[in-house]
Amino acid sequence: MIIVSISAVGAYPAYRFLQTGRFFMPSGGLNFLVAGFQINPHPSIDVRNLFYTVDFPSSLSRDQEIEKGMAMDDVLKLAQFWHDEGLENTAINRQAIVLGQALSNDGISVQANRFLYSLASIGMIIPHLMAGPERVIFRGYTARALFDHQYYYYQWQAWIYDSDYRALFVRFFDDGNGNDPVVAAEDGAANVQIRQAFSAYITTLPNHFRDPLKLGIVPPDLWIILSCLGCALLVRRLPIVPVLMLCVVTIAFATAFLFPVGNTRYAAPLLPLYILSTSIGVRQFSAGRRV
């Protein structure tokens, strides 16, 4: 697992080096600033003042950006402005990280938001409902709205929300997608290659064949609960399994909390482990009862 993780982290930087001659490892960089605004809907006075220590272009109103939150396109404009002022990429990333971390560490309520947000990255979204339905825990989303959002995309990314995903595929990779402000226009040749490579796999198989047991209706929290029960059965019989599960889940949660990010799609690699640990626990328990 460690070897696979290291290989996965280093594969793209190595490929990029071969193509461009520039080697650098993955870094949050500008994303820290975007994530900070997402997780902190109401920055404190101290954090607001920190933004007055850096230059802003005339095209971006500092107060308005702080109030509404900066999306990636705004952050890119700000980064380009800093670059035009003479800052190197390393300095630009460092400045964005400082501002983003200030937003992400702005009081207890923000830490609570980060905690709930990170739980989603290991597959726990029901705790969102315990935060109070009207509390804003993510910019533009109350706790209830964020739960609905996470639950919707959990089903959507599992390919069980709709029976036909071709319309979405066309939206991203067919001609004319440059008119969609949500989708960055790609090179025409690249679009053709992507469309040809993936179109055969966009199935229209009815949902009842994809998920005959209707397991997708259940929030992902169920698999965590079952995994905990399975690991509890293995504490004495096969302790290596709960120890490994604890390590993997702790690393995943800590990574999401420190960034911070939070989405059920990040829990996708953990779901098979939850199911596997549950199966091993049930098997060991059943074998013990037969003896």
Question: Tens digits of per-residue pLDDT, 115-160?
Answer: 998 999 999 999 999 988 788 888 889 999 999 999 998 988 888 8
Return all residues near 95 (Cβ < 8 A) that are at least 6 apart. Answer: 54, 82, 87
pLDDT of residue 102: 95
pLDDT at 108 over 90: yes
Task: Kindly tell me the burial class for residue 206, based on how many C-beta atoms sit within 10 Å of its own C-beta (0-12, 13-18, 19 or more).
Answer: exposed
Helix axes 108-120, 240-258, angle to 10 degrees: 130
For the chain, give every domain's residue range.
Answer: 11-106, 107-163+205-291
pLDDT tens sequence across 22-68:
777 667 788 999 999 999 999 999 999 999 999 999 999 999 999 99
**More confident site: 211 or 254:** 254
User: What is the pLDDT confidence band of residue 179, given thresholds at 50, 70 and 90?
Assistant: very low
16: helix, coil or strand? Answer: helix
Which residue do the tokens 């994530």 mark? 35
DSSP state, 186?
Answer: -
pLDDT of residue 5: 64
CB 228 within 8 A of CB 85: no
A 10 A CB-CB count for 227 gives: 26
pLDDT of residue 182: 42
**More confident site: 165 or 187:** 165
Query: What are the DSSP calls for 228-239, one per residue?
Result: HHHHHHHTTT-T
Three-point CA angle 126, 130, 133, nearest 5°: 100
d(CA 244, CA 89) in angstroms, rounded, equals 38
Mean pLDDT of the chain: 85
pLDDT of residue 171: 72
pLDDT of residue 163: 66
pLDDT at 175 over 60: no
pLDDT at 214 over 80: yes
pTM of the shown model: 0.79
